Structure 1
Amino acid sequence: MTQTTIEAPPNTQPQQKLMLSVGFVLLHRFTLLPFAAFVDCLRLAADDGDRSRQLRCHWAFMTAEGQDALSSCGAAITPCQPFQPARMFDYLVVIGGVQDGGARLDQQTLRYLCDADRQGIPLIGLCTGVFSLIEAGLMEGRRCCVSWYHHADLRRRFPDVRPVADQLYLDEGDRLSCAGGAAAADLAAYLVERHMGKAWAMKSLHIMLIDDVRKAEAPQPQPVVFSKVADRQVRRAIAILEQHLGQPVSVDELAERLAISRRSLERKFQQTLGVTPQHFARDLRLRYGLWLLHYSRHTITEIGERCGFADTAHFSRHFRKAFNMTPSAMRRQVAEEGATLADPFFLHIEGKALD
């Protein structure tokens, strides 16, 4: 296998008082995107401009013996340090790898995390890193944020843990967890703002070309696959609607954000998807409601509110029309059959929305 080597930045001695120090525990075949998003947010907040000196923030990449850390895509982080004293850090970020049945914590890593916990160091499970915290016995009786993609696997392997798959990350004091992917930047910015102030967090995000700070409770993007949507502005409209599932965007506002007229937007939706923007947005919110019924413990009233419906009756009426079942009946079916949301519910959209 050909490996791409990523050189870690040298340990720069701080020139002023550190405001935030983070240790990264990189597990075998760790996921590269959440790691990169998190550490780059720290890097950009640590120094002026893009100079990368560890002035305001400090970070260290660690493996059990200081060996190179191999990511899931084959890129390796080098050099890494052996585990450093946990008291050096404000947080330890555990970044997990591919869950292929062979991913298990080695005893040295297990002891390190447990020792850190005894010292009161907050632990962050990033992406599948939360699986490792669970294996270490450090998540008993707690909730943990996990990607919708890993929700069923976590629930099957660890039935006593309470997975949350309807938001980006969770902060429960000495335990933080994040669904991974680009949400790692949101969590890192949240910590930068806490320790250094909002200006430094926004500086990092703006340089990373992220202009919309997402809160912990923001919904994870849903696995609805849109294919054959050729019109670029319709694709952009869909992306905006997905980002505001709980806060309905009016057609006028949507058209303004796309810099086109309302009439032009409605015509494009009719030509491309066969429905109005209002109809499509409602169907998208219903799909989100379906998702929450499967992957959250919210009440039906709460789900209706999170999906932007005025009241439970309004939500239930449209849900039944779309899925031939009331939300209550769907919730019972999930509980009785242990069903997980499969492709038949989230069909490819090829020029049409729900009937």
Structure 2
Amino acid sequence: MLQTVAAVLMEDVAPFEFGVLCEVFGIDRTDEGVPHTDFLVCGERPGQPLRTSVGAQLIPSEGLSALVDADLVAVPAAAIRDEYPTDVLEALRDAAANGATLLSVCSGAFVLGAAGLLDGRRCTTHWRYVDDLAERFPKALLDPDVLFVDDGDVITSAGTAAGIDACLHLVRRELGSAAATAIARRMVVPPQRDGGQRQYVELPIPECSSDSLSPVLTWMVDNLRAEHTVAALARRAQMSERTFARRFVAETGTTPHRWLSMQRVLHARQLLEETRLSVEEIAERCGFGSAALLRHHFGRVVGVSPKDYRRTFGRAG
């Protein structure tokens, strides 16, 4: 569970990445069915202002001692430096030893690395900083080209918007699909992108809004049961197959097949949580066609079988 989340602030913290943590974990959404979370803003000197990367100031209300009892300790991006505050690194190590999950956004991974918490762990960071991270922390198992990495009690994300994906992934993992979807809906962002998607795409924003594939993507999600071929989707988008495939990767960072499989798995998770439908019925509703195919894709994405996932997260009476 995520009963207590502590965000760690230092000088030159990036306000957007900190804002992501505030938006996901710091806003009371109990009226939408999201469990309450105590959100603590922590720093070396509580009550004293810290400079941000844009010149504004933030004031942490709690000291570093609050990290020890937190379920999640989150480190937003901050200016990369040769040395980080000793007290911050020690507090992070103590929190990890006490069982906290650690989450970094963008260059926050450097702080975890400086604390020795990435040694032997799978991780990532912003694509601009991967060479620096690899050089500084050679024991880290760095994946340079993904949105985020979930290594159990250590979750690291790439730059900026990828932090949203990592946070929503963690909410989904700990609190379930309904909570993650409710937060994403309020933030007006996709409920979850696959962490294995590429960080850098050639056209993150289409040059012409009329060419956006958003209507096609929405139609695919609304019709998961249907068979979807690249040829049929290209016709719906009024593009050639080659152009459609290129633009799909440009907008989503992944292929149509992989994107569709991910959406089907996400829908299956929701049905496993909220209904008593059999695995066979869920496979049919999600477009997998067979329970065996659902189990294959579900296990690849989620890491457990549909049956085990329902045993843990199922809430239907």
Question: Structure 2-normalised TM-score?
Answer: 0.65
Asked if 1:24 corresponds to 2:33, the answer is: no
Residue number in structure 1 paired with 2:268: none
1:190-215: per-residue Cα shift (whole Å, max 9, x none)?
A: 33233333222211110111134223
Aligned mate of 1:65, from 45, 63, 80: 45
Q: What is the alpha-carbon distance in structure 1 between the residues aligned to residue 207 and residue 29 of structure 2?
A: 42
Distance 1:240 1:75, change over 3 A: farther
Aligned residues of 1:90 and 1:122 also touching (Cα < 8 A): yes
Letter of the structure 2 residue corresponding to residue 117 of structure 1: A
Q: What is the alpha-carbon distance in structure 2 between the residues aligned to residue 193 and residue 24 of structure 1?
A: 19
Residue number in structure 2 paired with 1:141: 120
Structure with more contact order per residue of length (Cα contacts < 8 Å, sep ≥ 6): 1
Determine what percentage of the aligned residue pairs are the same residue: 22
How do 1:1-355 and structure 2 match up within 5 A? 20-44=3-27, 46-48=29-31, 56-66=36-46, 67-99=48-80, 102=81, 104-217=83-196, 219-224=197-202, 231-234=208-211, 236-237=212-213, 250=230, 252-254=232-234, 256=236, 265-266=238-239, 277-282=240-245
Q: What is the alpha-carbon distance in structure 1 between the residues aligned to residue 58 and residue 149 of structure 2?
A: 27
1:188-241: per-residue Cα shift (whole Å, max 9, x none)?
A: 223323333322221111011113422333x134242589x754322x149989
Question: How far apart are 1:281 and its partner, in Å?
Answer: 4.6
Question: How far apart are 1:254 and its partner, in Å?
Answer: 5.0
Determine helix, strand or coil for the equivalent of 1:29: coil
Q: Between Structure 1 and Structure 2, which shows a larger proportion of helix residues?
A: 2
Distance 1:69 1:281, change over 3 A: farther
Question: How far apart are 1:22 and its partner, in Å?
Answer: 0.5
Aligned residues: 248
Question: How far apart are 1:23 and its partner, in Å?
Answer: 0.4
Question: How far apart are 1:155 and its partner, in Å?
Answer: 2.3
Residue number in structure 2 paired with 1:329: none
Q: Which runs of 5+ in 1 are unaligned?
A: 1-17, 257-261, 267-276, 293-302, 309-355
Q: What is the alpha-carbon distance in structure 1 between the residues aligned to residue 26 and residue 14 of structure 2?
A: 19
Question: How far apart are 1:55 and its partner, in Å?
Answer: 7.1
Letter of the structure 2 residue corresponding to residue 61 of structure 1: V
Question: How far apart are 1:60 and its partner, in Å?
Answer: 0.6
Question: How far apart are 1:164 and its partner, in Å?
Answer: 1.2
Q: What is the alpha-carbon distance in structure 2 between the residues aligned to residue 46 and residue 167 of structure 1?
A: 29
Aligned residues of 1:144 and 1:162 also touching (Cα < 8 A): yes
1:122-148: per-residue Cα shift (whole Å, max 9, x none)?
A: 222221111111111121112212122
Determine helix, strand or coil for the equivalent of 1:153: helix
1:227-274: per-residue Cα shift (whole Å, max 9, x none)?
A: 9x754322x149989xx9xxx972542564xxxxx5xx33xxxxxxxx
Aligned residues of 2:147 and 2:199 also touching (Cα < 8 A): no
Q: What is the alpha-carbon distance in structure 2 between the residues aligned to residue 249 and residue 61 of structure 1?
A: 48
Q: What is the alpha-carbon distance in structure 2 between the residues aligned to residue 213 and residue 230 of structure 1?
A: 24
| Bigger Rg, which one | 1
Aligned residues of 2:130 and 2:144 also touching (Cα < 8 A): yes
Distance 1:44 1:59, change over 3 A: closer
Aligned residues of 2:216 and 2:233 also touching (Cα < 8 A): no
Distance 1:38 1:239, change over 3 A: farther
Letter of the structure 1 residue corresponding to residue 39 of structure 2: W
Determine helix, strand or coil for the equivalent of 2:64: coil
1:56-81: per-residue Cα shift (whole Å, max 9, x none)?
A: 11111111112323322223223432
Q: What is the alpha-carbon distance in structure 2 between the residues aligned to residue 88 and residue 46 of structure 1?
A: 23
Letter of the structure 2 residue corresponding to residue 224 of structure 1: E
Aligned residues of 1:21 and 1:90 also touching (Cα < 8 A): yes
Aligned residues of 1:24 and 1:94 also touching (Cα < 8 A): yes
Residue number in structure 2 paired with 1:342: none
Determine helix, strand or coil for the equivalent of 2:4: strand
Aligned residues of 1:45 and 1:200 also touching (Cα < 8 A): no
1:132-176: per-residue Cα shift (whole Å, max 9, x none)?
A: 111111211122121222222222333332211332222222211
Q: What is the alpha-carbon distance in structure 2 between the residues aligned to residue 239 and residue 29 of structure 1?
A: 39
Determine helix, strand or coil for the equivalent of 1:88: coil
Aligned residues of 1:44 and 1:203 also touching (Cα < 8 A): no
Q: What is the alpha-carbon distance in structure 2 between the residues aligned to residue 131 and residue 239 of structure 1?
A: 39
